Homo-oligomer: A and B are copies of this chain.
C-alpha cells in the first residue's frame, strides 16, 4: 500500500484525494492519502489535514509526496526536501518544475528516487508517459503541441465567432478557464514551461525556460484571424521542440496552420500534442488539458506507475542549448513599428501588417526585441 503525503488541496489536490479516497478500481485501492498539507486553518475539513510540512516529512510511513500546490515557493523547497528525504515525488506544477528542473532531477538521481510530472504537461493527456513508452523503442525526433487550454479557447472563439480577443478572454475568465491575471497563459509562458518539460521527457534535455523564445497572443487582433481565414488557415498557439545534434530547437509561437491540419480543429479548451519517431512515425494525443479530475487522473497514473515499480529507464538529463538558427519560416507580423522589419519584409499587407521573407527563428527573435507589442505568427508551409 502506497502512503501518500498530498501537498495542496485546491483544484488538482482535491481531485487527487477524491479519486484515491473513492478507490473505484483495484489499482487505485492500493493507494492511500495519509496526510494532506493545507495552507490555512479554514481549509481543514479532514483529520488527515495539517498545516505543517514536518508532519509529512517526518512520517516514516509516507513513501511518496504528491505536490499540487502550484507556485514556485514553498512548492520547490517542499519537493526538494521530499526527494532529499528519500521520498518519490509527483508534481503537477509545470512552472516550478521547469524552473528548478536541473536541481530537482539531480536530487532525485542522488537519492535514488523518482520525480514524476505527467500532470504538468497537457493535463489529462498521457503525454509524458507516452514519450517514455515510445522511447523504449525509438528516439523522439520532434514534437509540437497545443498545450494551453485558455489561449486555445480564446483563439477558437475568435475563429468561430469572429469575436475580439478581449471578449473571448473575458468569457474564458468567466468560465474559470483563465486566471484573473492571465499573463502566463496569453504571453506564452505556460506553454514555455510545458515545452521545457516536454524537451526533458523527449530528449533528456534541461533547457533554461528563458532560453526558449516564447510569443503569445496578447496582441492578436480580429483582423489577424480574418486574414488567416481568408487564406484557408487557422491560428493556434504552438509549442515545438526537436532534437538537433547537441542542441535542441525549441520555441513557442502562434502559427497559421492549414485548415486541413487536424490541430486546426482542436477547439475550445482542448489540448493536442504529437511526436515523431523513426519506427512509429507521428503519433498524436488529444484531451483535456486542465480541470480538476483530468489533471488529478494524470497524477494518479504517475502514482500507479510508481506503485507498479515499472522499469522507467533512469534517464540522465543534461543541460542543453536552445538553437533555433536553422528553423526557418515566413512570419506574419502586426506591428506599430514597421521600420524595425525593413530588412526582412517580403510583402506589406497594409501599413501595420507584413509578411517576412523566409528567415530563421533566431533572426526574427532578435528583431522582435525592438518591438515588444508586435503580434508574430509563423506561417506553416
Say yes or no for A283: interface residue by CB 8 A criterion: yes
Asked whether B313 lies within 8 Å of A310 as measured between CB atoms, the reply is no
CA A287 to CA B284, docked complex, whole Å: 6
Number of copies: 2
- Beta-carbon nearest neighbor of A261 in chain B: B265
Asked whether B282 lies within 8 Å of A284 as measured between CB atoms, the reply is no
Tell me the smallest distance from the CB of A278 to a CB of chain B, in Å: 8
CA A373 to CA B100, docked complex, whole Å: 64
Asked whether A138 lies within 8 Å of B283 as measured between CB atoms, the reply is no
Binds B, one of A65-73, A109-117, A295-303, A329-337: A295-303
Interface of A is mostly: mixed
> Scoring A residues 263 to 287 as 1 if CB is less than 8 Å from chain B, else 0, what string do you get?
0111100001010001111111111
Which residues of chain A have a CB within 8 Å of any CB of chain B? 15, 19, 24-28, 124-126, 129-130, 133, 135-139, 160, 260-262, 264-267, 272, 274, 278-288, 291, 293-294, 296-297, 300-301, 304, 308, 310-311, 313
The 10 closest A-B pairs by CB, nearest first: A284-B286, A262-B265, A27-B136, A279-B293, A283-B287, A279-B297, A281-B288, A280-B297, A262-B262, A124-B280
7 A-B residue pairs with Cβ-Cβ distance under 8 Å, sorted by A, are A24-B139, A27-B137, A124-B280, A272-B284, A279-B294, A279-B296, A284-B285
